[in-house]
């Protein structure tokens, strides 16, 4: 009988330790860093808020949360909006709630320009909102976050997780003018821009999915077209040149990919020979990229460039060059192309770069 009592006491003790351990695990649990906006309705209490917090993945256990509330007895729960973070434990969440609600009604208009890369977008976000560069870069490298986006958006694929890509969402954040809450999060900004991209691509979905080229290839090509023909109405002709070169195993020979590969945002200087020849997964001036597109987009293109990549002009041109006014000239041979360049230089239409 004594052994049975000892056994039962042992079981109770082990179970108690396990429950206490589970309690403290749930109370001190930190999820992935992600801001979440919740609305506390008038009359709600810390206790009745538990289901909403669990639904938003802000707490691990409703029971553990309610036990904590019972002992902590927090006060001053206002109705209104709150910005919480999944990375906070229960104590930190309660501390945020006790500080009072925030005004999310104030908004601001922010414009993201076509043809700009992720470095521009990062700078724009950090200058307009209380969001740090490291917060944005961490989010762009967060594979769990990226997997969630890939599951949500049909045009995002595992290609964006390629380790050679500089910025995972480069090319997919549609440039436009947006209205955001002043206290928005980087997740909300990305979601809004990706939703816009989805709306823009929807009419081409069947055409894209039936193409021999992947959506990632098309967005990558459209980003090059955006920078090579941004001042020209003949983007589809430029797309045709690039597709002809890819088909025949040529290098795309695009300087803009070299600038991106070298992380050079100042295009007022010419490229060095060492930069042009550098074997980089973005640099299509290098012979190591013959017949290949860059590993990913080099900017965030507008809809005209995306349309060009999806519906290129079918022709026999392999070369193009633009003059300083943005007019594009197409050629079938290297000789014709060289002759066109010489003529533009003679006529003062050539773009001169700094050395």
Please list, residue by residue across 49-71, b when 16 or more beta carbons sit within 10 angstroms of its beta carbon and e when fewer do: bbeebeeeebbbbbebbeebbee
Residues 148 and 120 grouped into a single domain:
yes
How large is the average pLDDT for residues 214-225? 98
pLDDT at res. 18: 42
Per-residue pLDDT, 5: 58
What is the DSSP-derived secondary structure letter of residue 111? E
CA distance 137 to 142: 9
Last residue of a domain, one of 162, 184, 202: 202
Same domain, 24 and 83: yes
354 within some domain? no
Instruction: State the Cα–Cα distance between residues 109 and 99, nearest whole angstrom.
Output: 28
Could you tell me if 156 and 107 are in contact, meaning their C-beta atoms sit under 8 angstroms apart?
Answer: no
- pTM, two decimals, is 0.73
- Is residue 1's pLDDT more than 50? yes
Tens digits of residue pLDDT in 116-164: 999 999 999 999 998 999 999 999 999 999 999 999 999 999 999 999 9
Among 202, 235, 264, give the residue marking a domain's end.
Answer: 202
Q: In which domain, by residue range, is 44 found?
A: 2-98
Q: Please check whether residues 290 and 225 belong to one and the same domain.
A: yes
The answer on 126 and 64 residing in a single domain is: no
* Contact predicate 230/298, CB 8 Å: no
Instruction: Tell me: do 327 and 228 sit in the same domain.
Output: yes
Residue 7: pLDDT over 50: no
Q: Cα dihedral angle (152, 153, 154, 159), rounded to 10 degrees?
A: -100
| Predicted local confidence at residue 106, as pLDDT | 79
- Residues 251-304 pLDDT 10s: 999 999 999 999 999 888 889 999 999 999 999 999 999 999 999 999 999 999
Q: Are residues 152 and 40 in the same domain?
A: no
DSSP 211: S
Last residue of a domain, one of 98, 122, 151: 98
Q: Which residue has the tokens 């695009």?
A: 254
Q: Quick one: pLDDT at residue 104?
A: 63
> Are 94 and 169 within one domain?
no
Count of domains observed in the chain: 3
93 part of a folded domain:
yes
The answer to whether residues 229 and 309 belong to one domain is yes
């Amino acid at each position: 009988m004594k052994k049975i009592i000892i056994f039962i006491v042992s079981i109770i003790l082990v179970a108690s330790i396990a429950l206490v351990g589970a309690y403290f695990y749930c109370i001190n649990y930190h999820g992935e860093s992600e801001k979440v906006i919740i609305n506390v309705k008038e009359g709600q209490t810390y206790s009745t808020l538990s289901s909403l917090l669990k639904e938003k993945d802000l707490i691990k256990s409703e029971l553990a949360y309610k036990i904590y509330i019972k002992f902590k007895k927090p006060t001053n729960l206002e109705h209104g909006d709150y910005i919480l973070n999944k990375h906070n434990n229960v104590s930190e969440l309660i501390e945020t709630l006790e500080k009072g609600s925030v005004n999310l009604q104030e908004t601001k208009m922010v414009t993201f320009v076509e043809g700009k890369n992720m470095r521009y977008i990062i700078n724009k976000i950090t200058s307009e909102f209380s969001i740090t560069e490291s917060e944005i870069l961490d989010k762009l490298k967060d594979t769990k976050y990226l997997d969630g986006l890939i599951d949500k958006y049909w045009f995002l694929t595992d290609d964006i997780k390629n380790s050679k890509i500089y910025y995972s969402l480069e090319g997919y954040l549609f440039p436009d003018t947006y209205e955001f809450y002043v206290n928005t999060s980087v997740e909300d900004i990305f979601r809004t821009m990706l939703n816009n991209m989805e709306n823009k691509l929807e009419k081409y979905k069947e055409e894209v999915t039936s193409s021999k080229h992947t959506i990632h290839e098309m967005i990558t090509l459209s980003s090059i077209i955006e920078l090579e023909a941004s001042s020209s109405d003949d983007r589809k002709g430029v797309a045709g040149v690039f597709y002809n070169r890819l088909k025949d195993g040529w290098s795309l020979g695009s300087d803009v990919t070299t600038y991106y590969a070298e992380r050079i945002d100042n295009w007022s200087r010419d490229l060095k020979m060492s930069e042009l020849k550098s074997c980089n997964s973005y640099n299509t001036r290098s012979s190591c990229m013959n017949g290949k597109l860059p590993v990913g987009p080099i900017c965030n293109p507008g809809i005209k460039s995306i349309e060009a990549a999806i519906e290129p002009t079918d022709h026999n041109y392999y070369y193009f060059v633009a003059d300083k006014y943005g007019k594009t000239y197409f050629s079938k041979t290297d000789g014709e192309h060289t002759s066109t360049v010489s003529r533009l230089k003679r006529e003062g239409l050539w773009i001169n770069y700094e050395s």
